[in-house]
Copies of this chain bind each other. A is one copy, B any other.
């Protein structure tokens, strides 16, 4: 019932603040004997790391992950895996008025109203820096998935940034890793760059849409009522900082569709597995995977930390004008891509284990 955990059998608890000595993830329930090399986890962390990308903040930290427990002779033991990332960039500075002022659009005010205290150094626990721990935990999940369902692939990308949208007719999986926006549309990259530079010059920021797809998920994981696969995915994505909406398959657009348009028709494939005429469902029917691509999409709001002055108040109730200087991404959607992939990996692994626990290999087979 920990407020800082997610997952059922594969359970991740993150801890740590933006400017404390360290942060990390306590990962419990990983299957044993999964090969876990720190370099693999570091690979995923490096994708998220600030300073890697000219459009993300310049906080220059190595984000080096240490495995403190749960791995012996290069393999998971089945006991808790403690992943620690030290904060090396804890600049001692004068926080001055920031410590007393609530930044609009941030958790500063609600955090104080809840707990009666606030770690004002970089947002404390509310900082997006917490997501580094998720990416590390997601690396563990990916390794375990690799052992259980070798072909599965989990890939995230941006589909929209403010007014810019990708052209899906040009969708190219290979393009995603080749540009700073993780977009599957190479032809759009230059326009996106210009757009974002314009926003930065205007001391502004912008929101985005990120899509994550899991290919190769076996049919049958999930559950029909509360621990649906889509329920857990929605929770996982909504728990990421700045996310304001989560969609599965057609998402909000489903409201516009007619039944005759929306239901994916089913046929028997040549390999004895069902195939579908379309994937409006986003790979999930009644909370359970269909075997099609699992498609999740979410919107992040624009960064609230901008150089444009905003009205706010201080802890004592007095009025304050806030300009947020310092290292801030003009579009946090970029950084959200590897985080979303990590969350998807954790949720899918959890459901693979839950399914195996309750059902074993006693599944239904069509045409048997």
Contacts and interface: CB of A to CB of B under 8 A. Distances in A.
A299 B225 contact: no
A121 B101 CA distance: 51
A1 B311 CA distance: 42
A104 B264 contact: yes
Copies in the complex: 4
A254 B259 contact: no
A263 to B, nearest CB: 3
A331 to B, nearest CB: 10
A268 B224 CA distance: 46
Interface string A247-260: 11111111111111
A228 B20 CA distance: 22
Interface in A211-262: 219-228, 230-232, 234-235, 237-239, 241, 244-262
A130 interface: yes
Nearest to A116: B364
B20 A69 contact: yes
A282 interface: yes
Interface in A318-363: 318-319, 333, 353-360, 362-363
A267 B319 contact: yes
Given A16-B68, A105-B285, A315-B366, A301 B238 contact: no
Contact of A113 (B6, B219, B228): B219
Contacts of A160: 255-256
Interface in A88-121: 102, 104-107, 109-119
B302 A268 contact: no
A309 to B, nearest CB: 10
A258 to B, nearest CB: 5
A350 to B, nearest CB: 10
Interface stretch (A53-61, A167-175, A176-184, A198-206): A198-206
Contacts of A357: 9, 353-354, 356-358
A112 B288 CA distance: 10
5 cross-chain pairs, A with B, having the tightest CB-CB distances, nearest first: A107-B286, A357-B357, A317-B367, A105-B263, A205-B259
8 contacts: A9-B357, A79-B225, A104-B266, A161-B255, A207-B255, A244-B251, A244-B254, A257-B302
